[in-house]
Structure formats: C-alpha cells, structure tokens
Amino acid sequence: MKSDHLHVPVDAQTAPPLWRLLLPVAWMIQGVRGGRSMTSLLETVVPDLRAGVQALSFHALRRLGLAEAVRDRVVQRRPSPAADALLCTSLALMASDGGTLYPAFTLVDQTVEAAKRHASLRSSAAFLNACLRRFLREREELLGPLLSNTVARWNHPNWWVERLQRDHPAHWRSILGIAQSPAPMVLRVNTRRISVQAFCDRLASAGIPAQVIDGAAVQLDRSRPVRDIPGHAAGWVSVQSAAAQRAAPLLLSGMDVTTPRVLDACAAPGGKTAHLLEHCPEARVTAIDVDAERSRRVVDNLSRLGLDADVLVANAAHVESWWNGEPFDAILLDAPCSASGIVRRHPDVRWLRRESDIAQLAAQQDRLLAALWPLVVPGGRLLFCTCSVFRQEGAERIAAFLARNTDAVPLGAPGHLLPLADGETCPVGDNGNRDEDGFFYALLQKRPR
C-alpha cells in the first residue's frame, strides 16, 4: 500500500488510450480549483473511464503543490485555466518522487495528443510540449530549489502544514507524508450474518488476500470494486475504515438499557447507522441528515443489510423541527468537519478547504453539541466524533463543552487518532497502527439526577 506506483484499474486488453484519461483528469483538477468536490465530478465521467480517471486524479491531486511550483518555474505567463490544468496534471504525474505507470516521454506525447483532440486546447499543444520537454531536460535543476517550498515539499497548503505543526509537533511530518499514499480498503463484517473467519475463508476462495486487523475489521490487499467482494450485495460486509468502526462499540458497549433509543445525527451515508444496529439489534435508531439525497443513501445502505431505522431529513441542530420529546439513551454526533483526517481517501479536500473554514466548522460543532445534549436522558451518553486531525475540531471543542456543561462527565475514549506510518507509535489517545484515518472521539455521560 505504500508504493507510489500508480494502479489504474482498467483491463489491459480494453484500456483506453492515455490521452482519453488525461482530458477528464485535467477537468477534475480544474473543477477542484473551482471549489467542486471530486466525488461529484467523478459521477459525470463515463463509466468505462471512471476508474482510471479516479486513480490518475488522486495521484495528480497528491502532487499538485509540487506540480504548480514546477509550472511557475517553466512558464513566464500562466496559460488558460484548461491548458494550465492539463499541464499541471502531466507535471504531477511526471514529477513524482516514486515510480509512475507511464514513461515520461509517453506522458509528454499523450498530453500533446490530448490537447490536439480538444478544440479549446488545440492551440496550446505546442506550448504544452515545450513545457514538458523542458522539465525532462532540466528536471534536477527545476526540482532542487523547491525543497524549501512548503507547499511543493508537502503538497498541502501552507496554513494546513502550520496548523499540524502546532497541533502535533512530534508527528506532523508523518501525517503529511502518509497523506501521499492511498488508504487501504477496509471492510466491516456483519457478524449477525457471517463470522469474520468464514468471511475471510470466502475471500481466500475468491483469490482476494486479506487480513483481520481488529474485531470485525478486515483489510484487503488492495482496493477493489464492491461487486467483486463476496457477499457485499447480500449484506455480509460494508466498506468502512477501521477508525470509523470504533464508533458503535464506543457508544453502546456496556449500556444497561435493553432496547436503547439511539440517535445518529448527521448520519449519511449510513455506515455508522448500520453498525449501531449490527452491534445492538434491539436498538431503536433514528438517523438524521440535512441532505435529502444523502439520506436516501442511508436508506439504501440499511436496505442492503436488512436493517431498519427511522430516517429523517432535517437539520439536527433545529431540534424543534423533528424531535418528538422522547429523550435518547445514546446519541452519536459525527459532526461536520474539515475531513482533514481522511485526506488519504479524499485528496481534493486539502485544496478545497480554506483556513477560515475551520473556525466556522468548530462553531457548527458547538451548536450541534449544545442542541443535542438536552436530548440525552440522565445517565445516557453522547459520542462526539470528527474525521479531523485538527485539535480545534476535537479536543478543544470538548474542553469548551465541558466548561459550559457541568452535568457532562467524560468517559474513556481514544481522543485524537492520527494516521501514522506502520511501526510509528503515538502517545495521543490509544492510537494504534490500525488507524489509517485521522479521527477524534470523545464519550460523554450525563450525570444522573
């Protein structure tokens, strides 16, 4: 998983020519620069190109800071946005410090071919050819001075790097470094349907190497389409990171309520909702999300797994619009955040976020905590989590909440989980090598009356 070699999952016998992939990849880069999520952009790519475009786009986004710095050194005047996106895409694929799937001269040739094939780029073909060939000739001279350029060195915005340096002074380099490699694919086995061992046996029979990394979490040797995973359609397993799989057991284990009433606030796409029900089938779960389309994904995921919850489209903070007055024994608040902890899985996030977003998101997290805490029955629990490595979206939020709410008692929880390299230990929370994503968990209990 640590190899920097590209894996473009297309059949070698039917693979499209590289230029056909480079055009939509450049469009992805241009779209992200314009503030659009790559997830939504990918949905517009024709199915036969989507896997290859995603793989190349992920790589280009992980090297975009370096590519843009090189671009600034090889051009005197920046080209049109479309031509610049194609140029930076190719530079990102060529300037990698590891191997690439394509020889450099192939990338040059196919970039020029892509420009010639597109009406708005045709006039830039010679310019792109000259820029890329100059990079090949002067590679070392162009890259050398960029070691002192923070954005080029770490491929993250300056503010992001500086915040990590403040928040995690002993681990910021490792966090940034691991963000440059793809995250592993981890499955959550639905042990109500099949045992972990039986599922691993099915994987072995299908020729899919895997290992159990904790509890019901099984990590595959590489990412694969879910259609290729035995039993996925039948509800045996779901795709969910190991760090995210901590939520349901943290919230529900040890509760002495037979049929707990549970709220999953900000529930979409429904992975944690399903895990709550798998972990405690007797639970009465209400799942809320403000987005109607994403709420439909919650329903679809529960249907595939044969589970049932009361799914509402509402803003969880606007309690008066949806709450029936019956308190909850347990609340899972997976709050909106920067997603800085899952940048391995979503490399566009680093370029979409702005520094000012963090304070705005922290304020939203405070509002949600304040709105939902009164809904917890005395003696009940609230689990607050974010997929962020920034302390402002984790430890600082809980410290501020506890200062305002004397009826809240912190229980044992991991705190900040950091995405670190294999073998690197971390004194933060109970972080382990299985935590390939960055997360924050705080478990609060309301004092009994």
Q: What is the largest CA-CA distance in the chain?
A: 76
Cα–Cα dist 328/368, whole Å: 15
Residues in a beta bridge with 189: 237
| Residue 387 falls in the annotated catalytic set | yes
The Cβ-side half-sphere exposure at 388, using a 13 Å CA radius, reads: 27
Q: Is the dihedral of CA 88, 91, 93, 96 positive or negative?
A: negative
Residues 216/188, Cβ–Cβ less than 8 Å = yes
59: its two tokens: 């790589």
Compute the distance between CA of residue 414 and CA of residue 440 in angstroms, rounded to an integer. Answer: 7
The alpha carbon of 110 is separated from its chain's Cα centroid by a whole number of angstroms, namely 30
Closest to 187 (Cα-Cα) out of 163, 215, 159, 147:
215
CB of 41 within 8 A of CB of 28?
yes
DSSP string, 237-261: EEE--TTGGGHHHHHHTT---SS-E
Task: Name 367's Cβ contacts closer than 8 Å, sequence gap at least 6.
Answer: 317
Closest CA relative to residue 248, chosen from 208, 219, 285: 285
Cα(374)–Cα(359) distance, integer angstroms:
24
Check 88, 131, 385, 387 and give the catalytic one.
387
Q: Which one, of 420, 373, 382, 416, lies nearest residue 396 by Cα?
A: 416
Cα 31 to its chain centre, rounded Å, is: 18
Are 155 and 111 within 8 A, CB to CB? Answer: no
User: Where is 381: in which H helix or E strand?
Assistant: strand 376-386
Inter-residue contact 14 to 37 (CB < 8 Å) = no
Residues annotated as catalytic are 387
